[in-house]
Amino acid sequence: MLVAGALDPFRRNRAENWANPSCTMSEDLLDAWNLHVGAGRARITDGRGAHAIVDVDAHANGIADALLSGSQSLSGERVAILATPGAAFVAALLGIWKAHGTAVVLLPEHPHDEHAYALVDAGVTRMLVTADLKAMSATELATPTVIEEIATKRRAFADAAQGAPALMLYTSGTTSKPKGAVLTRENIRVQAALLRDAWGVTPDDTLLHALPLHHMHGLAIALVNALFAGASVHMLRFTVRELLSAMKDATIFMGVPTMYAKLFVAMDGVDGGDLRALGAHARGLRLATSGSAALPVTLGERFRELSGQFPLERFGMTEIGVGLTNPLAHAGRRPGYVGHPLKTVETAIKDDHGNDALEGELWVRGPSVFPRYHERAEATAAAFVTDANGVTWFRTGDTVSRDGQEGPFKILGRTSQDILKSGGYKLSALEIEEVLREHPGVLEVAVVGMSDEIWGDRVVACIVARHGHGSGATEITPEALRAFAKEKLAFYKVPKEFVLLPELPKNTMGKVQKPALKAALSSRP
Ligand code: MLC
Ligand code: AMP
């Protein structure tokens, strides 16, 4: 029985548990947040100014209260957030978590079709929107509530079960349509504690946040990790100028390689004089990380010249959060490698037959690994494998090697040629092909990723026009195809180039030979 005064030691124990990422004692996702709200030091800075964390928390209470409307728990109900990055977004996310809901984050820049797909697939009926986005499309599918119109509250909420869902992130895979990866409260709690420890995040830090919030990197690896470590967060939309200016007051920056590449393209430009001056702010960062795609070593070295540190490269996935990381100490970071597994992440490298190998597919397991894709039993079953010892692993689909038994890991590429990475976004060539095939003028299509210094993979769509569409009045043009794709696909999935070809290279079985296609594209004059 709890007696008066017993609450304090209990709370203290939970704070101590929080210090141990692998601890499985009863802990709630929000323990770390509550701990730091009490101290009240952190600020969230956005386009509207600086917001004290206690105020954001009170707003989150009001949001949870409104969502619950008298009930005790949302029991995992999926609630969408359509918000401009900032304190209102954070309040919405925490409000959903306080009410035991599952957050489904929509990117405002997505076209209607992408929003509608996620809302229907996730079974969302309620949406929290920032006032500036109230008029946006797809609200016919879910009832919108304006976040800023919800009053703040002082009240406490009960804990939820550790295995309860907290987040659904849509990720493109080998199936043609994106899948909703379900992350539990425990997945997110453990992940934040692991990263706080590995990267030494404290309330003295300020994270410079310019990543999109509908993916693992921006949402959990960056934002939630910082908030749960009591750090302040400065949230902005990525432009090189804004980023370099805001580095002045930041201690941590987390980016994708394309952001680093764009930094130098802009600084090297004819108008880059003042940007080069702003570049001096990078010296003030105690930690700059790179992830979501391979960081070219030359790019990392360029950043070292600018800032004094080679970015800490780490490997992650929507389904697992960060799995492997280089060390925090500048001198220990190995260019071209992604480091070692985090404390609770177990890894194995397997050949095609599931035997241990020096080079092969990376398998991982541990408390930060997601349990399932939403309502996709087959895809979930295919993603996990049980080895000869009866141990279940998540198959990453990444080919890796290791520098010796104990050495750091190196990412060699994807096992599937149809998974591309553009600017840090994972794309399915099959998904893009399927959408382009809906165009009446398209007979055949093959989408490939061509290696590119800025984007990683530059998406190119090769099209064979349907008879009667290749010439004259009904001719399809790259511009028309691009306009068509833009209406249906997220901007980063829209091919950078559309190439009209008389035919596609195929094998005797009639299967398109993408390596031959890529070779033909790269040997163009
Ligand atoms: C923008 N464009 C892209 C693109 N981003 N095209 C392809 N791929 C992308 N990633 C398009 C725009 O629509 C525009 O098209 C043109 O390129 C120029 O846009 P821009 O203004 O120059 O782009 P910018 O705003 O600078 O965006 C670049 C970026 C952004 C790098 C900031 O792509 C981004 O935020 N990427 C982060 C992705 C991410 O968070 N991934 C994490 C996944 S989780 P047009 O037609 O208008 O000219 C994960 C786990 C882990 O991977 O380990 O982290
Ligand atoms: P996503 O599904 O968007 O979370 O993307 C996860 C994928 O991004 C991984 O499976 C890798 O292919 C890739 N990735 C993440 N970090 C790195 C890295 N540091 N180097 C190379 N690839 C990476």
Pairing of strands 126-129, 102-106: unpaired
Residue 12: its pLDDT value, please?
A: 37
Rounded Cα gap, residues 429 and 234, in angstroms: 34
Question: pTM (2 decimals)?
Answer: 0.95
Mutational pocket test of ligand 2: of 215, 317, 334, 364, the residue with most ligand atoms within 8 Å of the beta carbon: 317
Amino acid at position 375, single letter: E
Rounded Cα gap, residues 313 and 293, in angstroms: 9
β-strand partners of 50: 45
Count of Cβ atoms closer than 10 Å to residue 407 Cβ? 13
Contact 137, 152 (CB under 8 A): no
Q: Is 466 helix (H, G, I), strand (E, B) or coil?
A: coil
Closest C-alpha to 67, from 178, 198, 183, 155? 155
Pick the residue whose CA is nearest to atom 53 on ligand 1.
Answer: 316
Ligand with smallest separation from the Cα of 313: 2
- Per residue of the chain (525 residues), give pLDDT as tens: 223 333 333 333 444 444 455 444 468 999 999 999 988 899 999 999 999 999 999 999 999 999 999 999 999 999 999 999 999 999 999 999 999 999 999 999 999 999 999 999 999 999 999 999 988 766 788 999 999 999 999 999 999 999 999 999 999 887 778 999 999 999 999 999 999 999 999 999 999 999 999 999 999 999 999 999 999 999 999 999 999 999 999 999 999 999 999 999 999 999 889 999 999 999 999 999 999 999 999 999 999 999 999 999 999 999 999 999 999 999 999 999 999 999 999 999 999 999 999 999 999 999 999 999 999 999 999 999 999 899 999 999 999 999 888 999 999 999 899 999 999 999 999 999 999 999 999 999 999 999 999 999 999 999 999 977 655 445 799 999 999 999 999 999 999 999 999 999 999 999 999 999 999 999 988
Ligand with smallest separation from the Cα of 423: 1
Please tell me the distance between residue 311's alpha carbon and the centre of ligand 1 in angstroms.
19
Count of Cβ atoms closer than 10 Å to residue 467 Cβ? 9
Rounded Cα gap, residues 74 and 173, in angstroms: 29
Q: What tokens appear for 368 in the block?
A: 């930060």
Contact 468, 474 (CB under 8 A): yes
Residue 128 CA to its chain's centroid (Å): 20
Residue 266 CA to its chain's centroid (Å): 25
Rounded Cα gap, residues 448 and 458, in angstroms: 8
Contact 419, 397 (CB under 8 A): yes
Rounded Cα gap, residues 170 and 180, in angstroms: 4
Name the burial class of residue 126, with classes exposed (0-12), middle (13-18) and buried (19+) by CB atoms within 10 angstroms of its CB: middle
Rounded Cα gap, residues 471 and 183, in angstroms: 50
Mutational pocket test of ligand 2: of 107, 411, 425, the residue with most ligand atoms within 8 Å of the beta carbon: 411
Opening angle at CA 399, ends 396 and 401, nearest 5 = 120
Amino acid at position 295, single letter: L
Residue 135: its pLDDT value, please?
A: 84
CA distances from 138 to 86, 88, 102, 112 (A): 22, 20, 19, 6
Q: Is 222 helix (H, G, I), strand (E, B) or coil?
A: helix
Please tell me the distance between residue 91's alpha carbon and the centre of ligand 2 in angstroms.
28
Residue 20: its pLDDT value, please?
A: 52
Q: What tokens appear for 153 in the block?
A: 């509250």
Rounded Cα gap, residues 504 and 465, in angstroms: 11
Closest C-alpha to 266, from 256, 278, 255? 278
Rounded Cα gap, residues 470 and 464, in angstroms: 8
Pick the residue whose CA is nearest to atom 3 on ligand 2.
Answer: 426
Closest ligand 2 atom number to CA of residue 217:
4
Name the burial class of residue 296, with classes exposed (0-12), middle (13-18) and buried (19+) by CB atoms within 10 angstroms of its CB: middle
All structural domains of the chain: 30-159 (3.40.50.980), 341-413 (2.30.38.10), 417-522 (3.30.300.30)
Closest ligand 1 atom number to CA of residue 262:
26
Ligand with smallest separation from the Cα of 111: 1
Please tell me the distance between residue 65's alpha carbon and the centre of ligand 2 in angstroms.
37
Mutational pocket test of ligand 1: of 256, 400, 497, the residue with most ligand atoms within 8 Å of the beta carbon: 256
75, containing H or E segment: none
Please tell me the distance between residue 434's alpha carbon and the centre of ligand 2 in angstroms.
23
Please tell me the distance between residue 422's alpha carbon and the centre of ligand 1 in angstroms.
7
Rounded Cα gap, residues 515 and 214, in angstroms: 32
Ligand with smallest separation from the Cα of 241: 1
Pick the residue whose CA is nearest to atom 6 on ligand 1.
Answer: 492
Strand residue runs (E) in 387-437: 392-402, 409-414, 419-422, 425-428
